[in-house]
Each structure stands twice: as structure tokens, then as C-alpha cells.
Amino acid sequence: MERQSISNQFIYGGDYNSEQWLDRPDILARDLEMMQKARINTVTLGVFSWSTLEPEEGVFRLEWLKEMVDNLYAHGIRVILATPSGARPRWLAEKYPEVLRVRENRVRSLYGERHNHCYTSPVYRQKVRIINQKLAQTFKDHPAVILWHISNEYSGECHCPLCQAAFRRWLKQRYQTIDALNHAWWTTFWSHTYTSFDQVESPSTLGDSGLHGLSLDWMRFVTAQTTDFMCEEIRALRQAGATQPVTTNFMEDYIGLNYYELAREIDVVSWDSYPLWRYQSDSRTALNTGMQHDMMRTMKHAPFLLMESSPSSLNWQPVSKLKKPGLLLNASLHAVAHGADSVQYFQIRQGRGGFEKFHGAVIDHYGGEDTRVFREATQTGQALQALACVAGSQVSAQAAVLWDTESRWAMERARGPRNEGLFYHEAVFKSYQALRKCRLNVDLVQVEQPLDGYRLVVVPMLYMFRAGIEERLRQFVQNGGTLVMTYWSGIVNESDLCHLGGTPHGLTDLLGLRSEEIDALCTGEVHHFTAGPGAPLYTCRNLCDLVRLQGAQPLMTYTDDFYKGYPALTVHSYGKGTAYYLCTDAEEAFYNDFYREMVSRTDLSPILPHLPEGLEVSSRQDPENEYIFVQNFTDEAIALPAPADAALLFGDFSEGKVQGCSTVVFRQKRS
């Protein structure tokens, strides 16, 4: 899907909690000057402003916000305007306790914290609707307001009576009859048969927490109800006449919601990126963060927004490390390289009190421009100006790794071969990082998304087959695609009921094998596999699938235990394509070698012909140009053969080297 860029330049700015400074006009005025110096062109307002906007029920005070928006606009700064539902005013909870969440132990929370409203409560929905409409009425035609920021980091669940009733309605809609629900949840087991939808209670450690069908549908309901809440927020804006695009900000590896569902309802995906830089090698952290960026981009196959990141340290991790010199720019351009059309921070100005008073900010408590962070934020703003031609360009990937949140919910709740951890994220990451080292852009697709257009599709641990994924994978291989599937795939259907008749379900002929048994290793236990004497010996952990070959060729075999000699990696031709099956949780070295060789033998075309170790490459393209980002997250300068027919667009490439902790960008005409 093509999306017009929200602006023809990069959005640069961040959350500006100006409501905390209304009694300090001197500071607000100074902030404006400093923002301009830092090349900030957009700020996010109003994320947690409800009690300032509506100090008493029905008493609205939007003048300060209007003045702020006008003032910013007069200084050339645009606004992303938030709806305030992420934190509620005290009066609302006092007068209508139903807006407070009930926890899984059925205890209602006290007033406090944030991101903890009941998403079913008609009162909460009504109050949010009213304030959203006031905002929309005031700002729908304001030229400064370019985007609506719906709530903030939706998350969590509520077990109140209203949510229970909504859950039952949702189940009734899904299953129609209680018999259908009983079948899907396999409730004859332990005599848990329901005779009415009214008997259903959300999962709880006080009741049912091991009924997997219930837990899985509860997670689906939480996503559906949160999405519904968000849509109601958006509708309120639309009904009041707002036409600007909308977004909501996602979090890293948050599995309480299926983000792909929320993404359908918003115009642009945005997320808050807080990597633990300097905890391990930054190259490694960058690879991990890159996977998140790619996931956000793939949700809509369009540029996304980096809605939040820290200008320096965090304050909510065990240890709050500073960003070393250069890292702010490098990490910001990393998001851009993966498809971001913005670099935004939490936060522009540090507050004096409260939970986040020590969180990094563009303007700190000292308040001057002569700080390292301010200087580096300014350099980042300048860099984004220099790269303006890249904004709005797309990322095109030949390789995709399948990621599925629903399958993960089911797999991690099931009691099965390994209750000490299945390492789903790690399994996805192992293929992802190896493909990135092969100089490829990589999409992170969800089971519902189309697969045509890819040359390689990797399916790691897809425990649950749903949405006809088997058929689409079959067509993909039939038409000439290369598939890599791993152990613990195609085990259950969309209700978490085990497939009968052999697994990976529906694909045993395509893979030329059947998974017969799966062995689990204890934590710390290591097995090995190899292509044969003289070939590398790889280690594997956690799970070892024992397969019966039905046409596939074994490429590598196990060397330990009673299944020594059994296949560990197989290949099978099908239609015009090829299907590999990896039986075990292999070490990264295996993935690196495996994909390197595959890329050399297939029609996958890497972005650059050669890339020295320590560098990362990504590309974006518009109809005329390809923009090649080469990034170095190590401390040493690394020599790079300059890409053919490419001009240096940005960065220090003196002596043909990418300097330590820096980025170079080349522009190449597309033929």
C-alpha cells in the first residue's frame, strides 16, 4: 500500500508537555527559541493533558492549548495532537468508579498511574468522546495540526463486570452456539463444559487459567475491545469534522495486543523505541531494533513514524546509560534507514517532578544550549534536513520472515515440550539477523498478509496455522518461491486444537516429511548437527524435531543421543520452488552460513555486492532513486567499497571509510 508522506520533509521533534509549565511563560518562550535552533519542526502536545483541559467535569479550558498551537505555528513548528485518554483526571474516577480497571484477581484498582482505564466502560467512552470532540472542533482546521495521536501506548486488560459482559457478547458473535464454543475449547476435558455463554469468566488464577481456548480468545477479545475503543476515539474526531490522519503509538515486542489488528484502523503506524544501547554491542542492539522497525513498517507496507525515542538516557531500566557521542544521530538514522519518516523524542523538556524527571530530554533542567545532548539533537535535526529527499520513500524487501502474535499467545500458554521457554522471539530474530547480514531488506509479515512478491519466506515456529496460511505457502512455493520452515510449526488450528493426521499441517507433501516426535533439551543442554565429516558442526538447543522423510533430502543430521543420524535440516522441491525444513533451534552461526549460501545460489539480490563485517546496510527507494544507508555501530572506522554509480548524499566517507558510530547515505539512480 502506498501512502503519501505526511509531510515532504522528515518530522523532527517529540513530546512537549507544556501544560507542566503554564506558570512559566519565560520558559515556554525560551523553549520555542531552542526548538528552532535544534531544527525541531513538529511537537506532540496533549498526551496526558486531560486534567488541564477539563479540570472539572464539563468545564473545558482549551485556550492555553490553542495559544500554544498558534504560537508554535508562528515559529514554524507543527503539531501532532494527542487525545488525552492515556491518563484520566481524578474527578472522573471519583465520580464514576467503573472507569477504573479490575484486575484478574477481581479487585478494582484505586485511582492512579496511567494507561489503566476500562476500555468497555460506557462512561469512560462517553467522556473521551466529549473531550476528543472539543479538541477536534477547536483544531480541525488549524494549519499547524498535521496528525492525531490517539491515546498513548494502549495496553493491558480489564476484568470488570462490564468487560465480562462484553467478552460474552464477543464470544456469542464468534461461536453463535455454546456447543461450538465447547468444541473449540475442548471443554469435555476436566468436565469444564459450559451450558450457557453467561457462565464464561475471563481467565484468572482464581478460576481457569489453563483452558487454552479461553485464554487465547481472551487475548483476541482484549485486542478487539482495545481496537474498538480506539475506533470510537477516532470516530469522535471525525464526527466533529477533523480530517487529519491518525496514528497510535506502539511499543517494542509488546504481546498484550495484536498490533497488526490496530494498524488496520489507523492511517500511519508509529512506535516508541527505547533500545538498551551500550548494554551489549551496539551492532547487536541495532539488529534487534531494526527488526522492530521492520515490523512496524511491514504492518502497512509504508513508512512509519518513530514517535518516541530518548535523546539521551532512559530512567526506567535497571541502569540508565547515556547515549555516547554520535549515537543519537546514528540511532535516529537507523530508524530512517528502515523506513521511518520521523525522528521524535520523549521528551523535549524535562519536567521538574514526577516519575520521569530524570528521563533524557532535548532540554534538561539546566536549560541551556551548551549541553552535549542539545548539540547532538541539533546535529540530528540538521542531518534530517540534509536528507529531506529521502522522506516518503519506500522500502522494498525480497525476503520476509513470518511473525504471528496469535500463534505466540497460543504457543507460550500451551503446556508442552518446553515450559521453560520456547524462545519464539529469538527464533524469529536468528533468521532475521542472518538475512540482514546477507545485505537484504527484510519484511516481518503476519499470516494474513500477502506473500507474493517475495522470493524467500521464512516461517519460524509457526505453531498455529490459521487464515489459510498453508494454502498461501503452497502457492508461494508452487510459483517458485523458497520457503524455510522450522520445528514446532503447523501443530494447532486457530482454536489451539491439535491437528490430526500429521504435522506441519497440510504441508507434509510440500516439505516431503512428517514431524513424528519432538524432543526437548534441558536448559543449558546442547546437542549438535552437521552435514557430515569435515563440515562444520553446529550446536542446537531447546527443541529437536524427529522427522520421518517422505521425499525430502536430508542435508544435515543430528550427532547426539538416540536420534544420532536423524535429519536436522532437509530440502524438498515442490512445483517451481524449494522448501527447507530446519528441525532444531540452531545456533546463529548455522543461520548465517545457511542463508549466506542460499543467497549465493538463488535470485535474491543483495543491496550491495559486498559488505565488510561490522556494517549494516538498508535501502529506501522512490521512483527515481535508491537511497543506500550504510551504518557502523562499532567504534572503529571500517573501509567500504563505494557502491557503483552512487553519489555520496550524506556522512563522512573520508578515505573510503565509514567512521565509528556513524552513517553514510548514497544515492543511486534507479535504472
Site residues (CB under 6 A) for ligand GLA? 152-153, 272, 274, 308, 314, 346, 356, 359
Give the integer Cα–Cα distance in Å for 224 and 129. 19
Q: Does 202 bind Zn ion (CB under 5 A)?
A: no
- Interface with Zn ion includes 222 (CB under 5 A)? no
CB-count exposure of residue 302 (10 Å: 0-12, 13-18, 19+): buried
The interface partner of residue 341, options being ligand GLA, Zn ion, none and the CB cut-off 5 to 8 Å by kind, is: none
Q: Which secondary-structure segment (H or E) carries 384?
A: helix 372-386
Q: Is the CB of 65 or the CB of 485 nearer to ligand GLA?
A: 65
Active site residue: 153, 157, 470, 626, which one? 153
Coil/strand/helix, residue 166? helix
Specify the residue, 100 or 291, whose C-beta has the smaller distance to Zn ion.
100
Q: Interacting stretch for Zn ion, rule CB under 5 A, among 116-124, 133-141, 527-535, 564-572? A: 116-124
- Residue of 531, 489, 532 whose CA lies nearest to 511: 489
As beta bridge partners, residue 457 has 400, 483
Q: Under the criterion CB under 5 A, does residue 166 sit at the interface with Zn ion? A: no
User: Which CB atom, from 118 or from 615, has the smaller least distance to Zn ion?
Assistant: 118
Stretch that binds Zn ion, among 43-51, 150-158, 357-365, 622-630 (CB under 5 A): 150-158
The closest of 262, 258, 280, 278 to 270, measured between CA atoms, is 262
Whose Cβ is closer to Zn ion: residue 101's or residue 430's?
A: 101
- Out of 158, 445, 457, 462, point to the residue binding Zn ion (CB under 5 A): 158
Min dist. Cβ of residue 274 to ligand GLA (A): 5
Pairing of strands 553-558, 527-530: antiparallel
Instruction: Quote the CA–CA distance of 289 and 275 in Å, as a whole number.
Output: 7
Contact by Cβ (8 Å): 25, 62: no
DSSP 3-state of 530? strand
Of the two residues 48 and 96, which places its CB atom closer to ligand GLA in the complex?
Answer: 48
β-pairing verdict for 584-586 and 537-549: antiparallel
Residue 120 interacts with Zn ion (CB under 5 A): yes or no: yes
Instruction: Give the CA count within 13 Å in the CB-facing half-sphere of 263.
Output: 25
Q: Which residue is nearest to ligand GLA (CB)?
A: 272
Residues 511 and 570 sit within 8 Å (Cβ to Cβ):
yes
**Taking the complex as a whole, how short is the minimal distance between the CB of residue 82 and ligand GLA, in angstroms?**
10
Select from Zn ion, ligand GLA, none the partner in contact with residue 272, using the beta carbon and a kind-dependent cut-off of 5 to 8 Å: ligand GLA
348 contacts 14 by C-beta, under 8 angstroms: yes
How near is the Cβ of 320 to ligand GLA at its closest, in Å? Answer: 10
Q: Answer yes or no: 265 catalytic.
A: no
Binding at 359: pick from Zn ion, ligand GLA, none (beta carbon under 5-8 Å per type): ligand GLA
- Cβ partners under 8 Å of residue 287, min gap 6: 429, 432, 433, 436, 616
Binding partner at 308 among ligand GLA, Zn ion, none, C-beta below 5 to 8 Å by kind: ligand GLA
Contacts of 222 (CB under 8 A, 6+ apart): 157, 256, 257
Least Cβ distance, residue 449 to ligand GLA (angstroms):
26
Q: Cell 509549565 appears where?
A: 21
* Binding range to Zn ion, per CB under 5 A, among 155-163, 341-349, 393-401, 486-494: 155-163
Choosing from 157, 233, 308, 406, the catalytic residue is 308
Q: State the minimum distance, in angstroms, from the CB of residue 309 to ligand GLA.
A: 9
How near is the Cβ of 312 to ligand GLA at its closest, in Å? 11
Cis upstream peptide for 550 (omega within 30°) = no
Kindly state the number of chain residues that form the binding site for Zn ion, as judged by CB under 5 A.
6
Would you say 96 or 345 has its CB closer to ligand GLA?
A: 345
Cβ-Cβ contacts under 8 Å for 671 (sequence gap 6 or more) = none
Report the residue number, 154 or 465, with the smaller CB distance to ligand GLA. 154
Query: What does 158 bind: Zn ion, ligand GLA, none (CB cut-off 5 to 8 Å by kind)?
Result: Zn ion
- Residue 308 annotated to the active site: yes
DSSP 3-state percent helix, strand, coil across the chain (nearest 5): 35, 20, 45
Residues annotated catalytic, as ranges = 153, 308
Residues that bind Zn ion (CB under 5 A): 118, 120, 158, 160, 162-163
